[in-house]
Structure 1
């Protein structure tokens, strides 16, 4: 073999090695490190209008938290307005009908103001007002905020508020004569048909927020006295099923939407206008907003420079979707920025990022779901715990052999170490809220029986897969809908009764991982190993045979080329001579 053949052979070997290296790099799980889209800064100053008497926030008060930068954030003030029953009208700012119940004084002459933004899609209103007084003595409810162990046995009626007339008051200011005649001295701001029109009762037996708004009186400046002032924007919230994760998420969402719809430049303070005791879920309330307090914990009257009234959680699309069709599908915000689509939404992605950011967790959509030790399969468990004063500490079983299923999945994963699956025991009832959210964020697959804990999927990453085990008695669409509205892949195992065969669950889990191309983490078998070895040697054999053919045919081919070259030279010499004169 001459030097030229040796160099050609060396080049082929180098190319072969480079090809092998590129294949290895292709299959190696790399983490994308793209910078998320920067949240537009314009939303920090979004306002509905700049009427005289509107509140101004020239600088951030030290006690208020900033809004975080969210990859899925889209502006909440849109032109044109979203169509009725569009996805933006359901999940975003469909509160487009403005009703000025008490206009600001002309020329900024002092006094309060009050208005509502009505959503025809949700049949609900976000209301806000300025120079508004709360008189806790006129609110009948428990004190609220107590430790659960201190109030065991307390009835629900003691916790839900009832309002006397004048529990809330707004200063009239220099309003015109027509409004003076309409409200009179100490007249109600909202009453009768007007209240039913903009804050309809709906399916709730007693609409406590409607009753609160119905208690607001318009009073003259001389009758408006305050023992203390809250200068920063404050969100007023009434909760019903405050110890249930699903219903609390609807309350979180309503409070977040209310803050965005009213264009608050910073996260507001929060006041619970109810008498519920503390629960673990308050950790998230505290993280989301600037501060947290119960109305009955104030002493004396308290006046708010700017108060926002959050609709009930029952009036959010998360709850309304259980009884009416909301044909929306989750989509990335950057796609909707380029091509708006009334049938798609990124608002639940935005909300989930808000929760994660509030706990100081990464909000990047490209957060690495594959840890150094493999894929995380989070098994959300249902366990006994004391939820509220009337609870006996026992949860209703939705999966009669939950422990057996969990142990079977765990053993299956441990028997296939090459699978690199980490089965996480999601005992959420005994985990801090931040750890719960972090476990959801880091999960490649979330599996669990139908239960409120699965509502955490609002914080899941876009590529997370949901596997819900549904017993015969609990065929409800809560979590399938959340997955649809976030654009997550969803699978269900529907049971006859409440027993799940572990083999069925494991098979379904394996199929999910195969379909999602989690092939590196799917367990190897002797058959697969034999096929891999066979393909390797077959490829090596073909490569060696190619080298042999090249070597065998290289010399004859070179001889033919040399002969052809000599023939052409001889032909030219005969025609033109040898070039010598």
Structure 2
């Protein structure tokens, strides 16, 4: 009898853990967003620059000889290392870290007369999703049916949600590779079912984009402009919802780390949502931000990465799946690695703070951060911001 009660108690705890974990992350992010909002109204705050450094002009990403470097994060652990094996399936680190351990080469690099293009996906059996990337990739905005995006909210009041989500025609995305004189599909239905399953998502836009992708022969990738730096292609759904946006931020961050990018990438939104306040954090986290429909001509990327939907992150899956996950400090994990514990959420929180140049700020100095361990996750107890001067 006692054993049955103990078993039931453990099951309830396992169901409760991911929900509490999500709540802690959401509360932390909400508190931080409110703090930034209050600070922006302070009389001591310098007036905002009307032209953000990450804004695009006529669809052209802000010219830059180099992208933003990754900040130094106290809780960072390597995401890609030949000396460290991938985490076992369905462990805490596989959910929140680099569980994308199965590499599938769709178009291998340097194969015969295939040109300079390549395409591959990194699959996570734990999450049931993939991070895909390719070289010499062409995006044609004319073959994407959706609104322009980035407009002020007051200009688009009453616009249907369906108008803001992309619908792709064949060839909306192209990759240079071996093709017998005419474009051919990059992947088939079997590949999509194995590596980009719908997973109950009614409109899986990343899957639809891959389904529309065509391989074109060398010399047939006609581009009016090239983006030289690595670029994330991201589709948002609940773009004004804080929790859903956190999952998008995390998915984009994980995609950047799993593909081992040397600097923070550009971001292109493959959606037509209007501009919202949370977009400022996108601009802080990454090197530049623009909308696909802001490009007026086909654009080519030397390196493009398709970020999984926020619905496919561990944060969202914790609402419907039961898995055990415990937070730990990075020092304890360096000393004694444990796949059932993770410091990835602490690392991600530090990434957000560092993106606003607050890690070295007097208010939020890293020396003032106290690490509090609990049975669920590592949380940050930060000194409260000073009262704003209205």
Instruction: Say whether the fold is shared (TM-score over 0.5).
Output: yes
TM-score by length of structure 2 reads 0.76
Indicate which of 206, 209, 216 corresponds to 1:212: 209
Residue 256 of structure 1: SS of its match in structure 2? helix
Structure 2 equivalent of residue 484 of structure 1: 376
Q: Aligned residue for 1:249?
A: 246
C-alpha deviations, 1:189-237, integer Å up to 9, x for none?
Answer: 0221111110010121110111011111001124210010000000000
SS in structure 2 of the partner of residue 362 of structure 1 = coil
For 1:119 and 1:274, locate their aligned partners in 2 and report how far apart those are by CA, in whole Å: 25
Match of 2:344 in 1: 347
Asked if the contact 1:228/1:303 (under 8 Å) is kept, the reply is yes
Q: Secondary structure at the match of 2:207?
A: helix
**Which residue among 61, 66, 70 is the counterpart of 1:67?**
70
Query: Which runs of no fewer than 5 residues in structure 2 stay unpaired?
Result: 1-63, 382-390
Show the counterpart of 1:472: none
**What is the alpha-carbon distance in structure 2 between the residues aligned to residue 232 and residue 345 of structure 1?**
31
The answer as to whether partners of 2:329 and 2:373 remain within 8 angstroms in 1 is no
Relative to its length, the structure with more helix (as a share) is 1
Q: How does 1:168-567 map to 2 (within 5 A)?
A: 168-172=173-177, 175=178, 180=179, 185-362=182-359, 367-368=367-368, 462-463=371-372, 484-486=376-378
The verdict on how the C-alpha distance between 1:92 and 1:108 changes in structure 2, with shifts beyond 3 A counting, is farther
User: Take 1:272 and 1:220, find their aligned partners in 2: how far apart are those partners?
Assistant: 27
Number of matched pairs: 313
> Are the equivalent residues in 1 in contact too, given 2:373–2:379 (CA < 8 A)?
no
Aligned counterparts of 1:230 and 1:238: Cα–Cα separation in 2: 19
Deviation at 1:110, TM superposition (A): 3.2
Residues 401-458 of structure 1, C-alpha deviation per residue, up to 9 Å, x if partnerless?
xxxxxxxxxxxxxxxxxxxxxxxxxxxxxxxxxxxxxxxxxxxxxxxxxxxxxxxxxx
From the CA coordinates, give the structure whose radius of gyration is larger: 1
Instruction: Give the whole-Å Cα distance in 2 for the aligned partners of 1:365 and 1:126.
Output: 34
State how far apart, in whole Å, the 1-side matches of 2:366 and 2:326 are: 20
Query: What displacement does 1:107 show?
Result: 7.6
Aligned to 2:162: 157
- 2:108 aligns to what? 103
- Between 1 and 2, higher relative CO (CA 8 Å, sep ≥ 6) is seen in 2
Cα deviation, 1:16-55, whole Å, max 9, x if unaligned, reads xxxxxxxxxxxxxxxxxxxxxxxxxxxxxxxxxxxxxxxx
Whether the 8 Å contact between 1:250 and 1:313 is mirrored in structure 2 is yes
Gapped runs of 5+ residues in structure 1?
A: 1-60, 370-460, 466-482, 490-581
Which residue in the other structure is 2:80 paired with?
Answer: 77
Output the CA distance in 2 between the equivalents of 1:318 and 1:72. 19
TM-score by length of 1: 0.52
Conserved? CA contact 1:464–1:488, under 8 Å: no
Equivalent-residue separation in structure 2 for 1:213 and 1:285 (angstroms): 24
Q: Over the residues paired in the alignment, what is the CA RMSD in angstroms?
A: 2.1
Deviation per CA, 1:42-73, whole angstroms, max 9, x where unpaired? Answer: xxxxxxxxxxxxxxxxxxx6341000000000
Q: Measure, in 2, the Cα distance between the counterparts of 1:109 and 1:221.
A: 7
Cα distance in structure 2, aligned partners of 1:292 and 1:82: 32
CA drift at 1:87: 1.4
Matching residue within 90, 93, 97 for 2:98: 93
Is residue 84–residue 120 contact of structure 1 (8 Å, CA) maintained in 2?
Answer: yes
* 1:77 CA drift (Å): 1.7
Partner SS state of residue 121, structure 2: strand
> CA offset at residue 487 of structure 1?
5.0
**Residues 365, 462 of structure 1: 8 Å contact kept:** no
